[in-house]
């Protein structure tokens, strides 16, 4: 059972994606993976932008159950393992919204990105929307779960197999109302 199963009905994620940059970077006919989709909030938002080939996956069965109830038309799937059940080079774009924030271990982050790189097509786009901080900080969130707000440079270094297309920062309160910076990084797979 995932730790997120215990809070699936309690949390309401709020980190926005950069809609204009997403539309400018990801063609509408793209096959998109929303990795760590939670209850499908961003999957739904991308669908509302006009994209229709989107799969959302999450390690929490209860998050997926909530998403299938809230957004029954979405393709949301429970995936409890690190290995993805997709072919090499299957997706044109992959979205991670506050996913790395919830992975407070460097090796685990690296393993996730290695697997995502495998299923992303050459020249495909990966988009990270992550809470960040000037100084890298690890902490326990108001939900009782460990979090990591990386420095923007740490997030960019994770994308060593990619070419950064666009990297900007904005501000957004966390779920507990704390003021935080947000990194929006679009990167293209180069090999």
Which whole number is the average pLDDT over 53-68?
A: 97
Is residue 188 pLDDT above 90, yes or no?
yes
180 within 8 A of 129, measured Cβ to Cβ:
no
pLDDT of residue 159: 94
Backbone φ and ψ of 14, nearest 5°: -135, 0
> Measured between alpha carbons, how far is 136 from 154 in angstroms, rounded to an integer?
8
27 within 8 A of 92, measured Cβ to Cβ:
yes
Is residue 5 pLDDT above 90, yes or no?
no
Domains, in order of start, for the chain: 3-189 (3.40.50.150)
Is residue 81 pLDDT above 90, yes or no?
no
pLDDT of residue 3: 80
pLDDT in tens, 85-138: 999 999 999 999 999 999 989 999 999 999 999 999 999 999 999 999 998 888
Backbone φ and ψ of 155, nearest 5°: -65, -40
């Amino acid at each position: 059972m995932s730790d997120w199963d215990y809070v699936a009905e309690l949390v309401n994620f709020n980190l926005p994606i950069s809609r204009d940059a997403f539309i400018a970077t990801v063609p509408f006919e793209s096959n998109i993976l929303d990795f760590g989709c939670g209850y499908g909030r961003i999957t739904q938002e991308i669908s509302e932008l006009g994209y229709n080939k989107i799969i959302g996956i999450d390690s929490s069965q209860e998050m997926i159950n909530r998403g299938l109830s809230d957004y029954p038309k979405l393709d949301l799937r429970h995936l409890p393992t690190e290995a993805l059940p997709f072919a090499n080079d299957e997706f044109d774009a992959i979205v991670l919204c506050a996913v790395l924030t919830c992975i407070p271990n460097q090796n685990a982050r690296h393993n996730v990105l290695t697997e995502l790189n495998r299923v992303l097509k050459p020249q495909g786009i990966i988009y990270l929307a992550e809470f960040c901080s000037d100084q890298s900080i690890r902490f326990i969130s108001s939900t009782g779960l460990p979090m990591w707000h990386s420095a923007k440079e740490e997030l960019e270094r994770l994308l060593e197999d990619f070419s950064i297309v666009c990297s900007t920062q904005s501000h957004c309160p966390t779920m507990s109302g704390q003021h935080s910076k947000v990194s929006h990084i679009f990167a293209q797979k180069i090999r």
